[in-house]
């Protein structure tokens, strides 16, 4: 698609990168995003929907500046205005009288480029171009019903065109409310259809609605069981239920994990001991040659990842130091609990093992494309993989 | 989205889980200095695991989404000011929802189909905001909310999968969580390299 759906496609880059970042999808189509490991065995688990790929591919061709800026959390004025407008929309819904008026004014909003440029499914709305006057009249009649009964006929009214895009999943009664604050965005290049109003407000409004509808479609694919449901309210219902059930599952699983009695790190020395002494030759030398201080770590991404973990009083920036502290204190606690005598010797041993291990790990040449913190070279040997098959 | 190096989400999640579990334990042992050896109760442990899993998921996702910030912010800051700010924002959001709802309710008898639909949709949107972390912010419009929901669902699913595998492994092998996590990480890295 061309930039005509820039608004709707504003999620293009982000969603494509989003989809790439999720472990479930591995779209070569959407290149450009960091190729995260869409491990093959995850694919079938997550999403066997081929339609997803098409939709994602379609989205990927959109420009996505606005979305990217929204990503950063510091929206430039345009999305900011839209946010303001969006938040106002809820309040404007409360005022049906004015909504009516606004809707009438907005109804003129020609879903301009809905024509050929947009969407194959929108082809029906192409014919709607001629019915502008009838649309206007119908708009006045019942704004909300229009939204609901979208499938009726391809009206040039924006809701009609929207519905043709959304295939009738259209209960966006509130979408039409006037939001005359959206400044004209320069990247929105929509071609006006004949007889349709092309003022910036209506265009922006339409763009906004399309974005929403696109995302609803995506969500429909994500949430199992949403395919049968048509209608925004029902779909939102499904989505909410799904998210809540996932959260409940997390709680249940964490409870299950918590029943493994010790959140226990006293096994750490034995574990690391085993792994350490089964390290292969090539890495062993590197391990012992790199006695540099712990602050010299190339924590390019590690730092980012672990930074937010500092709960309260971890003063040092280095992850190793954090872990070290953590370890020392936990082992202290553990040993204090277990046998009443905090064996400092063992603690020292533990600390050394951990440090050596992680040192070696992080000092392994980061020339590898995927800069994993946990390089395997120091953890060679008997992984006891037979005991556990963790499919990733 | 995850910086220059591309670690897969699951691996990052595992690592973060490892770290956060340790930090959790350290945190609790620090807090009850009196009962330094007391094991945490089941409930506390569950909370620790759950919060560390959430934080791990959010951190592994990177800073690209709003919900990650919403999860990480309270986890990392014990600052009162921030907490107050969050409460204020939450109240503001609730007030807005309350006013809109009441205004709509006070509308009287005009309840066309579309308005009913609108009401339903907005109510559910409100409910979705409650569920998605970070959705309560006033600055989150519907489109962003949907995008956040999408993102959150994907990562939540991954989190559930990983947690399930970890718990199965723990039960099967009988070793501790830490061992399982380390082994998993190593196996995963090995697998990626081959």
* A18 shares contact with chain B (CB less than 8 Å): yes
Q: From chain B, pick out residues whose CB is under 8 angstroms from the CB of A15.
A: 147, 150
pLDDT at A47: 45
CA terminus-to-terminus distance, chain A: 35
Would you mind telling me the total number of residues written for chain A in this entry? Answer: 392
Q: From chain A, pick out residues whose CB is under 8 angstroms from the CB of B96.
A: 87, 90-91
What is the spatial distance between Cα A350 and Cα A328, in angstroms, rounded to a whole number? 8
Q: How close B110 comes to chain A (CA, Å)? A: 9
CA neighbours closer than 13 Å in the CB half-sphere of residue A255: 7
* For A177, nearest residue in chain B (alpha carbons): B118
Contact A330 B2 (CB under 8 A): no
Residue A212 has pLDDT above 80, yes or no: yes
* A39 shares contact with chain B (CB less than 8 Å): yes
Burial of A253 (0-12, 13-18, 19+ CB in 10 A): buried
Binning pLDDT at 50, 70 and 90, where does residue A248 land?
very high
pLDDT at A372: 42
Contact A254 B173 (CB under 8 A): no
* For A354, nearest residue in chain B (alpha carbons): B182
Mutate to test the interface with A, among B36, B117, B119 (most CBs of A within 10 A): B117
Write the CA distances from B181 to A141, B162, B185, integer angstroms: 63, 10, 6
Give percent above pLDDT 70 in chain B: 70
Per the CB < 8 A criterion, the answer to whether A373 and B15 are in contact is yes
Q: How close B171 comes to chain A (CA, Å)? A: 8
* A255 shares contact with chain B (CB less than 8 Å): yes
Q: From chain B, pick out residues whose CB is under 8 angstroms from the CB of A304.
A: 3, 62-63
pLDDT at A94: 42
Contact B25 A208 (CB under 8 A): no
pLDDT at A245: 93
pLDDT at A179: 46
DSSP state, residue A193: P
Contact A323 B19 (CB under 8 A): yes
* For B141, nearest residue in chain A (alpha carbons): A86
pLDDT at A261: 60
Q: How close A44 comes to chain B (CA, Å)? A: 13
What is the spatial distance between Cα B89 and Cα B69, in angstroms, rounded to a whole number? 15
The model carries a pTM of 0.47
| Total CB pairs under 8 A between chain A and B | 386
* Out of A148, A255, A322, closest to residue B117 by CB: A148
Neighbours of B34 (CB within 10 A): 6
What is the spatial distance between Cα B73 and Cα A200, in angstroms, rounded to a whole number? 38
Contact A233 B117 (CB under 8 A): yes
* Mean pLDDT score of chain A: 51
Contact B78 A311 (CB under 8 A): yes
Contact B141 A85 (CB under 8 A): yes
| Lowest-pLDDT choice from A147-151, B131-135, B188-192 | A147-151
DSSP state, residue A8: G
Give percent above pLDDT 90 in chain A: 3
Q: What's the rounded mean pLDDT across residues B104-112? A: 63
Q: How close A267 comes to chain B (CA, Å)? A: 8
| Lowest-pLDDT choice from A36-40, B117-121, B132-136, B189-193 | A36-40
Binning pLDDT at 50, 70 and 90, where does residue A246 land?
very high
What is the spatial distance between Cα A26 and Cα A269, in angstroms, rounded to a whole number? 38
Token code pair at residue A283: 């890495």
> Per residue in A256-283, pLDDT tens?
888 776 655 555 555 555 554 444 334 4
């Amino acid at each position: 698609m061309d930039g005509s759906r820039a608004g709707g496609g504003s999620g293009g880059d982000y969603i494509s990168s989003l989809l790439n970042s999720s472990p479930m999808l591995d779209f070569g189509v959407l290149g450009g995003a960091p190729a995260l490991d869409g491990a093959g065995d995850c694919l079938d688990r997550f999403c066997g929907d081929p339609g997803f790929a098409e939709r994602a591919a379609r989205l990927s061709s959109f420009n996505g500046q606005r979305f990217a800026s929204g990503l950063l959390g510091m929206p430039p004025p345009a999305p900011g205005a839209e946010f303001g407008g969006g938040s106002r929309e809820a309040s404007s819904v409360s005022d049906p009288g004015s909504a009516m008026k606004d809707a009438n004014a907005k109804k003129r909003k020609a879903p301009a480029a809905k024509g050929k440029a947009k969407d194959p499914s929108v082809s029906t709305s192409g014919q709607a171009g001629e019915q502008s006057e009838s649309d206007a009249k119908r708009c006045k009649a019942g704004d909300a019903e229009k939204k609901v009964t979208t499938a009726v006929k391809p009206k040039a009214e924006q809701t009609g065109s929207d519905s043709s895009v959304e295939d009738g999943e259209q209960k966006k009664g509130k979408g039409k409310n006037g939001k005359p604050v959206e400044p004209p965005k320069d990247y929105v290049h929509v071609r006006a259809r004949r007889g349709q109003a092309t003022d910036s407000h209506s265009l922006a409004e339409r763009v906004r609605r399309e974005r929403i509808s696109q995302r609803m479609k995506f969500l429909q694919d994500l949430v199992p069981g949403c395919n049968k449901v048509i209608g925004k309210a029902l779909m939102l219902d499904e989505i909410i239920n799904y998210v809540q059930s996932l959260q409940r599952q997390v709680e249940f699983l964490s409870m299950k994990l918590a029943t493994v009695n010790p959140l226990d790190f006293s096994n750490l020395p034995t574990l690391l001991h085993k792994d350490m002494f089964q390290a292969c030759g090539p890495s062993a030398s590197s391990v012992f040659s790199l006695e540099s201080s712990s602050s010299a770590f190339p924590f390019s991404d590690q730092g980012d990842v672990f930074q937010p973990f500092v709960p309260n009083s971890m003063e040092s920036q280095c992850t190793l130091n954090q872990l070290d502290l953590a370890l020392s204190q936990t082992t202290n606690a553990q040993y204090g609990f277990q046998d009443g005598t905090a064996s400092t010797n063992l603690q020292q041993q533990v600390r050394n093992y951990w440090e050596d291990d992680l040192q070696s790990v992080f000092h392994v040449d980061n020339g590898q494309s995927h800069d994993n913190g946990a390089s395997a070279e120091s953890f060679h040997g008997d992984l006891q993989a037979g005991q556990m098959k963790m499919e990733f | 989205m995850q910086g220059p190096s591309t670690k897969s989400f699951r691996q990052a999640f595992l690592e973060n889980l490892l770290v956060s579990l340790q930090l959790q334990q350290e945190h609790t042992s620090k807090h009850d200095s009196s009962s330094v050896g007391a094991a945490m109760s089941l409930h506390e442990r569950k909370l620790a695991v759950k919060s560390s899993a959430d934080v791990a998921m959010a951190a592994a996702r990177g800073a690209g989404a709003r919900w990650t910030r919403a999860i990480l912010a309270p986890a990392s800051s014990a600052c009162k000011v921030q907490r107050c700010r969050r409460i204020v924002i939450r109240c503001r959001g609730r007030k807005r929802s309350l006013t809109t709802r009441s205004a709509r309710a006070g509308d009287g008898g005009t309840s066309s189909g579309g308005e009913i639909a609108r009401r339903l949709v907005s109510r559910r949107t409100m409910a979705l905001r409650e569920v998605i972390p970070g959705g309560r912010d006033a600055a989150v419009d519907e489109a962003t909310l949907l995008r956040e929901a999408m993102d959150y669902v994907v990562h939540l699913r991954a989190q559930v999968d990983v947690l399930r595998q970890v718990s199965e492994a723990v039960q099967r092998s009988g070793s501790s969580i830490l061992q399982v996590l380390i082994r998993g990480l190593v196996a995963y890295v090995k697998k990626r390299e081959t």
